[in-house]
Amino acid sequence: MGEDVDRVRAIVQSGYGSVETLRVAEVEDPVVTPDEVLLRVRVASVHAGDVLVMQGRPLLFRAGTGLRRPRNPIPGYDVAGTIVEVGSKVSEFKPGDQVFGNGRSTLAELATAKPSQLVMKPEGISFTDAGVLTVSGLTALRAVQQVGRVAPGQRVLINGAAGGIGTFAVQIAKAAGAEVTGVCSGGKAALVRSIGADHVIDYTVDDFTAGSITYDFILDNVGNRSLSQCRRVLATGGTLIPNSGTAGGSLVGPLFRMGHALAVSPFTAQNLRVFVSIPNPQDLAALRDLVESGVVTPVIGSTYSLDDAPKAFAHIASGHAVGKAAIEVAD
């Protein structure tokens, strides 16, 4: 090992269910394969996908995560930290490098990662900001820039604008020159305006699908309106991405909504798209540049210690979290 550390502290999940399935425990050091690096984790993050894995929802997803309990008992993907060991086949990084990106089991003092899913962390970006970037930031980046191809002057609507993905998407769309409308509760309107939204719709008062304005791009992170309702306010030739992981039933969850979108899209003049965001150095570097230049600022609504990480899961599960939840693992 790169350091004389035999056991480390981590969040361990004993089964599917609520936050009661999570506990802090000492576990063996992760084993580093020849094509991986070992990170001393400084900051990780909890997002909606982590909560769904904790709950074991939808049931169909358990085919990949484990039928009765998580195959990987330590959750976490987002990470920012310092490399303490590199595998024999790794040439991109060296011990001491400060990096961020996507790792494996990052809610722990040590975690492994593939070099292809990491980039160097600039000095101008804090570990806390870097630790919440990857999953939500890359999803927003790819949705707005690569799938939606948002251009100057276009009208964009972000449903769930105050959430983890939404806060990134609002800023990235605004940076692209779009006229941005954010949908959130009234109590979060000031925040959403502060990060660049030109208009805010309070979903507790108004139904964004019942208005007369049409949008060139809609990113739906909530799924509280049907596809047909969303299409009413989608311009001809516009793009709609149904991106809610909590929509749908307990068996297939969002897969039905995504499948419906793919089935309908060829028969309409609108584009209904779904995608999978897999971290790569190019997209991570593009996201890093947006943050380093000040164009995008991560919105961190709450910060927790590793011991309090289960509280972060509960907060995200409530559906009312603002921005990202950062887990500060080490100083």
Do residues 43 and 128 lie in contact, with contact meaning Cβ atoms separated by under 8 Å? yes
Check whether residue 44 and residue 129 sit in a common domain.
yes
Check whether residue 182 and residue 236 sit in a common domain.
yes
Q: What is the CATH number of the domain that holds 89?
A: 3.90.180.10
Check whether residue 181 and residue 214 sit in a common domain.
yes
Tokens of 63: 């085919």
> Is residue 281 included in any domain, yes or no?
no
Check whether residue 224 and residue 312 sit in a common domain.
no
- Give the model's pLDDT for residue 4: 52
Q: What number is the average pLDDT over the span 174-183?
A: 98
- Give the model's pLDDT for residue 246: 61
Q: What number is the average pLDDT over the span 21-36?
A: 95
Check whether residue 155 and residue 267 sit in a common domain.
yes
Check whether residue 182 and residue 206 sit in a common domain.
yes
What's the Cα-to-Cα distance from 4 to each of 1, 8, 29, 85, rounded to whole Å? 7, 11, 10, 12
Do residues 39 and 99 lie in contact, with contact meaning Cβ atoms separated by under 8 Å? yes
- Give the model's pLDDT for residue 264: 78
Cβ neighbours around 183 below 10 Å, total: 28
- Give the model's pLDDT for residue 1: 43
Q: What is the CATH number of the domain that holds 235?
A: 3.40.50.720
- Give the model's pLDDT for residue 202: 97
> Is residue 1 included in any domain, yes or no?
no
> Is residue 82 included in any domain, yes or no?
yes
Domain count, the chain: 2
- Give the model's pLDDT for residue 2: 47
**Per-residue pLDDT reduced to its tens digit, 61-92:** 777 777 788 888 999 999 999 999 999 999 99
Question: What DSSP string runs through 124-192?
Answer: TS-HHHHTTSHHHHHHHHIIIIIIS---TT-EEEEETTTSHHHHHHHHHHHHTT-EEEEEE-GGGHHHH
**Most confident of the following: 49-53, 259-263, 284-288:** 284-288
> Is residue 278 included in any domain, yes or no?
no
Q: What number is the average pLDDT over the span 287-310?
A: 97
What single-letter amino acid sits at 11?
A: I
Tokens of 15: 């089964």
> Is residue 293 included in any domain, yes or no?
no
Q: What number is the average pLDDT over the span 123-129?
A: 96
- Give the model's pLDDT for residue 64: 73
What values do phi and psi take at 241, rounded to 5?
Answer: -115, 110
Check whether residue 120 and residue 159 sit in a common domain.
no
- Give the model's pLDDT for residue 250: 61
Q: Which of 165, 171, 238, 170 is nearest to 201 (CA)?
A: 170
Confidence check: pLDDT of 220 > 60: yes
What values do phi and psi take at 191, rounded to 5?
Answer: -60, -50
| Average pLDDT over the chain, rounded to an integer | 92
Check whether residue 154 and residue 79 sit in a common domain.
no
Domain ranges, residue 87: 7-133+298-328
* Model pTM above 0.95: no
- β-strand 155-159 against 118-120: which pairing, if any? unpaired
Q: Where are the beta strands (DSSP E) in 208-284?
A: 215-220, 234-242, 271-272
Q: Which residues 6+ apart lie within 8 Å of 267 measured at CB? A: none
Check whether residue 62 and residue 158 sit in a common domain.
no
Percent of the chain predicted with pLDDT > 70: 93
Q: What number is the average pLDDT over the span 300-327?
A: 95
- Give the model's pLDDT for residue 257: 65
> Is residue 110 included in any domain, yes or no?
yes
Check whether residue 165 and residue 127 sit in a common domain.
no
- Give the model's pLDDT for residue 261: 72
Confidence check: pLDDT of 152 > 70: yes
Rounded to whole angstroms, the Cα distance separating 182 from 209 reads 13
Confidence check: pLDDT of 277 > 50: yes
Q: Which of 118, 21, 20 is nearest to 66 (CA)?
A: 21
> Is residue 291 included in any domain, yes or no?
no
> Is residue 279 included in any domain, yes or no?
no
**Per-residue pLDDT reduced to its tens digit, 242-258:** 987 565 556 555 565 66
Tokens of 132: 């919440």
- Give the model's pLDDT for residue 247: 58
**Per-residue pLDDT reduced to its tens digit, 94-124:** 999 999 999 999 999 999 999 999 999 999 9
- Give the model's pLDDT for residue 256: 58
Check whether residue 59 and residue 114 sit in a common domain.
yes
Check whether residue 128 and residue 142 sit in a common domain.
no
**Better pLDDT: 72 or 43:** 43
- Give the model's pLDDT for residue 92: 95
- Give the model's pLDDT for residue 266: 79
